[in-house]
């Protein structure tokens, strides 16, 4: 449902499930845009390096 003010669309009313779905999709699109920007600016690394860093961080947290 769309509510109008002076003949122009002003507010949209939708179900909660649809709202959450749209919110999730928007968050995913933002993440993809950030990732695309990282690639564009050369902020990338081999996946193995990322896994190794993550593993080391988790071990440090567990042992620390």
61: tokens are 């947290």
pTM for this one? 0.59
pLDDT at 23: 97
For the stretch 27-45, pLDDT in tens is 999 999 999 999 999 999 9
Which letter, b or e, does each residue of 20-57 get, where b requires 16 or more Cβ atoms within 10 Å of its Cβ? eeeeeeeeeeeeeeeeeeeeeeeeeeeeeeeeeeeeee
Instruction: Give the domain ranges of the chain.
Output: 22-64
Lookup: tokens for 14: 């939708």
pLDDT at 34: 97
Residue 17 has pLDDT above 80, yes or no: yes
pLDDT at 13 over 90: yes
What's the pLDDT at 19? 95
């Amino acid at each position: 449902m769309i509510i109008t003010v002076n003949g122009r669309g002003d507010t949209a009313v939708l179900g909660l499930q649809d709202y959450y779905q749209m919110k999730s999709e928007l968050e995913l699109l933002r993440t993809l845009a950030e990732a695309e920007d990282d690639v564009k600016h050369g902020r990338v690394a081999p996946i193995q390096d990322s896994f190794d860093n993550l593993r080391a961080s988790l071990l440090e947290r567990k042992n620390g």
